[in-house]
Amino acid sequence: MATSRSDREAVASLRKDGSLSRPFERVLIANRGEIAIRLIRACREMGMGVVGVYSDADAGAAHVRRADRAIRIGPASPSESYLRIDSIVQAALDSGAQAVHPGYGFLAERAAFARAVTDAGLAFVGPSPGTIDAIGDKLHARRLARDVDVPVVPGTLEPAMFDRPDDLERTMAEAQAIGFPLLVKAGAGGGGRGMRRVETVEELPAALLSGSFEAASAFGDGSVYLEREVRPARHIEVQLLGDASGAVVAIGERDCSLQRRHQKLVEEAPAPGLTSDDRRRLHVLATRVAAAAGLVNAATAEFLRAPDGSFFFLEVNTRLQVEHGVSELVSGLDIVHEQFRLAAGWPLSDAALAAASRAAAPSSHAIEVRLAAEDPGRDFAPTPGRVTRWTMPAGPGVRVDTAIEAGERIPAEYDNLIAKIMVHAGDRGTAIDRLRRALDETEIGGIQTTLPFHRFVARDASFLAADLSTGWVVEHWDGPAERTRAMRLAQVAAGLAASQARARPHDFPYHPEGLVIPRDVPGPPEERVTPGRRTRTRRASWLDTGLDEGVDRWPG
């Protein structure tokens, strides 16, 4: 249902009145890190005051310094701070905030949080509690999609029962009817929590038990269901916006196929290889589900694309997505601004409607990589620690969303995402060229990050050819081998520089720390000079070069 122009003009005229010149006077940001900074910037641009919240681990964080006021909500543990509904709602009331934006993660998709916010007389910047209940639960969403003729991945529509022998027998029969391999998936959450891949019926009982246990620990709900594994498949999602009049529009789609353990690593918009007809068909399916659930504000419908081009509905994320920035770059629409307007009861803006009208025929391309404090050479193991060097890329068509600065510590208690590097260009090929350049400009020291992996992706032939699938990382990335290769390259660079240093020994720079060159490393010997009474050790340029070549790779 489209909002009439007369309705929009009426609201626009009201905005000229001081009371409606901005959606809210003051907003509380119930999050941390780069998304808190992103939301604070949007509030500043819209003339709204900002209240931040923080745990003890974040007392000196960037989002605390940039907020007009910041309120402590508890210790470092998320369960005692960022997941405390009562503490956050009380902070909003004490600060005089009129609205609460949850960002993503933490409480963003908890209907109980949205309900507590609205019950306190505040606006929740996101879908309503009823909508979160309706489509935040995956099984409910699958049934809703089926009811409005949107294809779902073959599987069960009710929780898989296995507590009693007869229940388990029926579930095993359902699994055989669905076909193997299949997935056991959590009904109440995502991110790969509670998910198990099952290749034979004999593996099913253990997968159901362990998946249910993990789901209960992560989401407080141990319900699981069965779903056929679609392989090879592409993971494509649609950015949605809806207003109180019932209008729901698609702003475009994103390809999120490059994942590890069902966690996204690279996203791009639009999804490469789709025709305008493909996009229209996908957007219609997504808006049909969202409209049936009464979506108001922003959400994302996720689909799998099978090798034959069929789209299967997966789920709806009732929040702002991590990767919303690539849709903003391609559409020209500020999705966060739109969220605040919709939360205040305003209709979809003319800019949003215009972006939706162009969505099936995008004229540019954007790519995002998620930089995380993880070691891609050790199966993406977390690597918290202190950042010593921090240089982010800049220049034409580059956007960086981050909250990190040199000298800051990456805490072990929270998500490992430290920055999102986005590039935008007129076509995909140019965007990839720009991505390579941006990643080459990036320098991070002190901790291992996923930067080597992203540099590999940006130069891989299959990625350049848009040969994408959810199994891409497993099929193309060998972390230990890449680490070994990178260190050998660093050694070669050091050896070449050593040869040059032998030819030009006067080129050795003084090193104020008096660093001793290791005896087992080839190269010219250390030299000591005595300027006046002070003795200093010279470090050869070959060692400097070798160390520089190792930057952003795998430090020993």
Q: What is the pLDDT along the chain (556 residues), one digit of tens a residue?
A: 444 444 443 444 344 444 457 999 999 999 999 999 999 999 999 999 999 999 999 999 999 999 999 999 999 999 999 999 999 999 999 999 999 999 999 999 999 999 999 999 999 999 999 999 888 788 999 999 999 999 999 999 999 999 999 999 999 999 999 999 999 999 887 777 899 999 999 999 999 999 999 988 877 789 999 999 998 999 999 999 999 999 999 999 999 999 998 899 999 999 999 999 999 999 999 999 999 999 999 999 999 999 999 999 999 999 999 999 999 999 999 999 999 999 999 999 999 999 999 999 999 999 999 999 999 999 999 999 999 999 999 999 999 999 999 999 999 999 999 999 999 999 999 999 999 999 999 999 999 999 999 999 999 999 999 999 999 999 999 988 888 887 777 677 667 766 666 665 544 443 333 333 333 334 443 433 334 443 344 444 445 544 444 544 454 3
Query: Residue ranges per domain, the chain?
Result: 20-128, 154-228, 234-479, 483-550
8 Å CB contact between 543 and 494: yes
Closest among 217, 30, 27, 51 to 107, alpha carbons compared: 30
Q: What is the pTM of this model?
A: 0.85
461 token code pair: 């032939």
8 Å CB contact between 406 and 418: no
d(CA 32, CA 58): 8
pLDDT for res 536: 40
Cα–Cα distance list, 128 to 92, 141, 219 (Å): 18, 15, 19
pLDDT for res 504: 58
Closest among 159, 251, 170, 173 to 211, alpha carbons compared: 159
Closest among 414, 411, 421, 415 to 444, alpha carbons compared: 421
146-152: long-range pairs with CB below 8 Å, 24+: 147/292, 148/288, 148/289, 148/292, 149/288, 150/285, 150/288, 150/289, 150/313, 151/285, 151/310, 151/311, 151/312, 151/313, 152/312, 152/313, 152/314
**H helices present in 67-137, as ranges:** 85-95, 111-119, 129-136
Closest among 364, 372, 362, 371 to 438, alpha carbons compared: 371
Architecture of the CATH domain 20-128:
3-Layer(aba) Sandwich (3.40)
d(CA 326, CA 268): 6
8 Å CB contact between 226 and 156: yes
pLDDT for res 189: 72
What is the dotted CATH code of the domain comprising 154-228?
3.30.1490.20
Pairing of β 49-55 and β 69-74 = parallel
Contact partners, residue 530, CB within 8 Å, separation at least 6:
none
Q: Give the number of residues written for the chain.
A: 556
Kindly report the number of other CB atoms within 10 A of residue 396's CB atom: 9
Quickly tell me which residue has 């076509």 as its tokens.
427
Contact partners, residue 226, CB within 8 Å, separation at least 6:
155, 156, 160, 171, 174, 175, 178, 182, 183, 184, 185
d(CA 439, CA 434): 9
Quickly tell me which residue has 């068509």 as its tokens.
397
One-letter amino acid for residue 77 of the chain: S
Identify the three-state secondary structure at position 284: helix
d(CA 234, CA 63): 35
Instruction: Give φ, ψ of 390 to 5 degrees.
Output: -150, 100
Closest among 376, 403, 394, 418 to 258, alpha carbons compared: 376
The burial of 275, by beta-carbon neighbours within 10 Å (0-12 exposed, 13-18 middle, 19 or more buried), is given as exposed
Cα–Cα distance list, 383 to 31, 244, 358, 413, 541 (Å): 22, 44, 42, 11, 30
- Triad 423, 373, 261: Cα angle to 5°: 85
CA–centroid distance for 551 within its chain = 25
Cα–Cα distance list, 219 to 73, 136, 283, 536 (Å): 21, 12, 30, 59
What is the dotted CATH code of the domain comprising 234-479?
3.30.470.20
Q: Which residues of 469-487 are buried (b: 16+ CB within 10 A; e: fewer)?
A: bbebbeeebebeebbeebb
Contact partners, residue 125, CB within 8 Å, separation at least 6:
27, 99, 100, 101, 102, 297, 339, 340, 343
pLDDT for res 500: 67
pLDDT for res 346: 98
- Triad 275, 276, 279: Cα angle to 5°: 90
- Triad 319, 322, 328: Cα angle to 5°: 90
Contact partners, residue 371, CB within 8 Å, separation at least 6:
402, 417, 418, 419, 420, 421, 442, 444, 449, 450, 451, 454
